[in-house]
Structure 1
Amino acid sequence: MSKANLITVVGGIYRELCMHPRWDAYVGSGGRAALALATMDVPVELHAYADESAAENFAYQAALTTISLHITTIPVTPGFHYTHGLSVPAIYGRDQQNPPICVHTSKALRFGMIEGDAIIHAERAVYDPQNAVDPQPFSANGSTADELALVLNRHEAHLFLGQDTTDDDEAVARTLAEKQNAAVVIIKRGPRGALVFDRGTVSTVPAYRTRRVWKIGSGDNFAAQFAGAWLHDGLSAHEAANQASLATAYFCEHGGSYASRAALSEFKRPPIDVSPDWCRGERPKVYLAGPFFNLPQLWLVEQARTTLIDMGLNVFSPYHDVGHGSAEDVVEKDLEAIRSTTLLLALVDGLDAGTIYETGYARAINHPVVVYSECEHSEDRKMMEGSGCIMTDDFVSAIYHTVWEAARV
């Protein structure tokens, strides 16, 4: 294996558990990135921490690829436990003090890790800090690169600047490039895709719409695909970011599976439409329709409402904003709220009469409706499907389709 063509990945191997959809795997940022690159026929080596069980588990996966695996043994491999793909995970084994991994290489992809640190000396490097609280600059621990690309989400980018932050993403990217001596800065912006700063030139690439969304690890996949295209294939930062965006859409649609070059060449999805209002920071209000008469129903309503708010939307929830009451107390308030909101997310499992009525009312006034239903028979979904509702049987996909419709209108 030629060292000149090799990409060195340094990142976590973590145990990831998700209750629904069911998922139990040893991957993490580093493991996932290495697998994604290997699937794209990019020569790759992975440096990671792992305990004996995690190392053995991932070694079985790596054995099916060309990944060269280098493990630093630690007592306990951290774990991330999710209720669903958009829930805040419970994190285990994060309070560890392990010696840093030190690597000298030509091309590197470095991730932030919770169980240790990585000191990288590379000619060219891609850095994804993966820290929603206190991201550290690439050079803070002594890492060096002749040419550096930062891959950040918008929250991380703004955290780096602290009180100096601005809502102007282009200005943020320019400032980060100057302060962190980065040639390239990629800022991921949800439905708006990504802003690409490349040595003073600014461009954007779209996010791509998918039928389903597998969220866990999608950011790892984006960073890996960008690194492969930019470091190995020699694409420009703009071209690499666009390819990474499309490959991440493939990952999301195929339940966390990695795109090969052949599969990606045949994968076509439309860009997500984003309105000028959304780009200016305006956020429409979503009506959340769903029954709330027992604990499971209330839990789902609360999860949907909290997740939509966390993703920047305004939400009207009959339970939270009107409450229980007689027909005289609640019906007109709910119908007026449907008229004054922009779209509706319907939680229809159980076929609650009120939820079905609200869904039909919204479609009658031509509001977009996203329907989340896992359990109902196709016959009971017929009117919703036939009236143009966006149908999904996956909770995370329902949330994303709602955000995408909100961004479009």
Structure 2
Amino acid sequence: MIAVVGGVYREKCIHPGWDEIYGSAGRAATAIARMGGAVELHSYFESTALYVMQDRAALEGFQLAATEVGQGVTFDYIHGLSTPIIHQPASQYEPLNISKEHVLRFGMIEGTAVVNCDYAVYDPQNAHNPEAFIANGSTAKHLALVLNRHEAHGICASPCEEPEELARQLADQSGADVVIIKMGPQGALVYDKGACSTVPAYRTTHVWKIGSGDTFAAHFAYAWMEEGRSPQEAASIASRATAFYCESRGYPSRKLLDRFDPKPLCASECYRSGYQPRVYLAGPFFTLAQLWMIHEARKDLSDMGLSVFSPYHDVGCGSADDVVEKDLQGIRDCDLIFAIGDGLDAGTIYEIGFARALGKPVVLYSENESTEDKKMMAGSACRISDDYVSAIYQAVWEAAAL
């Protein structure tokens, strides 16, 4: 049995619409149980969360070890890549104490968990101020860390940019046997007692981002601790299961995961060597809503590691003589185009055609336009998505392959 300890939170997203109680621990317990694993979920529960999770535990077949509290935590997102507004208790609750053979521990907002176990998988779940596994007195005979690059840099005493060396430093610092560093389109680095390997990430049509990291940690923990698989094999299974979750918002059974055959991402040599692809951000910017969309896309593309040329920010408004040639030169100098297509803005449509004539890849984000209106873009091999977060990821994946 795996003891899963971490947050059980309410998650709300405006678009696409989402209002569920999961959190890291609730999602991980569900994912492991769906694979046939035995799970005991430890967390703080306010009354509504406890009611929901009791029903879910009965449905999925896992056990609850509830610590009841007066107030829970809620995450409010605008979309899956937005920084959430977090509603949380004014002060932290008393630590949870768990002594089990196998533990999957997540970092929490409203408290912490002190675990003592034979095998532990730890995901700090905090890019800004991550806590080291041993910082609160937790111990494990065999420890695996699962984190992204930001968390790895936050925990490492002397962080470096080279992921292999970063993993080695984390292992030495924490006494971990295994360190998994998730690296976006480059997949995940697997450090296993001094040896390093990688597993791929996978391309999906849709990307549901909220909870994807929880899913990876859950499937890695189950495959490594319960099934006895190697860290490399467990990470490979976790990556495929995460792609299934991103595509469907669902949790695969073993049979569904065996049938799932996503396409691995293959980052180019120049991207792996540190090249930062340049993306041209095409879209109208004449109303407050349009300007918000341009600012949001520029931020999210930049946060995902791309260099962004935005006509609004980098050229500005003006007459045709003032701006057109500068905008076209921006397209010539970029590696690909991210276009916001709703409204069928004439300038944006022209920029898409100009880019395709130059052989530049185009990712089009359009929710409201008809198939007929998107015919030329579809017929000229543009990648088209009706979901904002999915479109951003499509752009990053296109860029990484160049």
Does residue 75 of structure 1 match 2:99?
A: no
Match of 2:205 in 1: 211
1:132 to 121, 124, 127: 127
Does residue 35 of structure 1 match 2:66?
A: no
**Equivalent pair of 2:156/2:173 in contact (CA under 8 Å):** no
Match of 2:51 in 1: 56
Query: SS where residue 47 of structure 1 aligns?
Result: strand
Query: SS where residue 105 of structure 2 aligns?
Result: strand
Does residue 148 of structure 1 match 2:149?
A: no
Query: SS where residue 255 of structure 2 aligns?
Result: helix
For normalisation by structure 2, the TM-score amounts to 0.99
Q: Give how far 1:97 is off.
A: 1.9
Query: SS where residue 309 of structure 1 aligns?
Result: helix
Does residue 398 of structure 1 match 2:391?
A: yes
Does residue 14 of structure 1 match 2:9?
A: yes
Q: Give how far 1:133 is off.
A: 1.7
Query: SS where residue 64 of structure 1 aligns?
Result: helix
Match of 1:376 in 2: 369
The residue type equivalent to 2:224 in the other structure is: W
Does residue 260 of structure 1 match 2:253?
A: yes
Q: Distance in 2 between matches of 1:47 and 1:96?
A: 20
Query: SS where residue 380 of structure 1 aligns?
Result: coil
1:160 to 126, 141, 155: 155
What's the Cα RMSD here? Answer: 0.8
Please list the CA deviations of residues 107-148 of structure 1 after superposition, one character each: whole Å capped at 9, or x if unmatched.
Answer: 010000001110111110100011112212111111111100
Match of 1:3 in 2: none
The residue type equivalent to 2:105 in the other structure is: R
The residue type equivalent to 1:161 in the other structure is: C
The residue type equivalent to 1:156 in the other structure is: E
Match of 1:315 in 2: 308
**Equivalent pair of 2:335/2:399 in contact (CA under 8 Å):** yes
Please list the CA deviations of residues 331-386 of structure 1 after superposition, one character each: whole Å capped at 9, or x if unmatched.
Answer: 11111100010000010000000000000111111000000000001100111001
The residue type equivalent to 1:151 in the other structure is: V
Match of 2:270 in 1: 277
Please list the CA deviations of residues 81-115 of structure 1 after superposition, one character each: whole Å capped at 9, or x if unmatched.
Answer: 00000000000015422111111111010000001
The residue type equivalent to 1:288 in the other structure is: L
Distance 1:195 1:94, change over 3 A: farther
The residue type equivalent to 2:68 in the other structure is: T
Q: Give how far 1:234 is off.
A: 1.0
Q: Distance in 2 between matches of 1:400 and 1:95?
A: 35
5+ unaligned residues in a row in structure 2: which ranges?
none
Does residue 100 of structure 1 match 2:95?
A: yes
The residue type equivalent to 2:206 in the other structure is: R
Identity of aligned residues (%): 56
Q: Distance in 2 between matches of 1:181 and 1:47?
A: 25
Q: Distance in 1 between matches of 2:274 and 2:395?
A: 17
Question: Within 5 A, what are the aligned runs for 1:110-125?
Answer: 110-125=105-120
5+ unaligned residues in a row in structure 1: which ranges?
1-5
The range that moved more, 236-245 or 320-329, is 320-329
The residue type equivalent to 2:44 in the other structure is: Y
Q: Distance in 1 between matches of 2:240 and 2:22?
A: 21
**Equivalent pair of 2:298/2:310 in contact (CA under 8 Å):** yes
Q: Distance in 2 between matches of 1:344 and 1:235?
A: 42
Q: Give how far 1:161 is off.
A: 2.0
For normalisation by structure 1, the TM-score amounts to 0.97
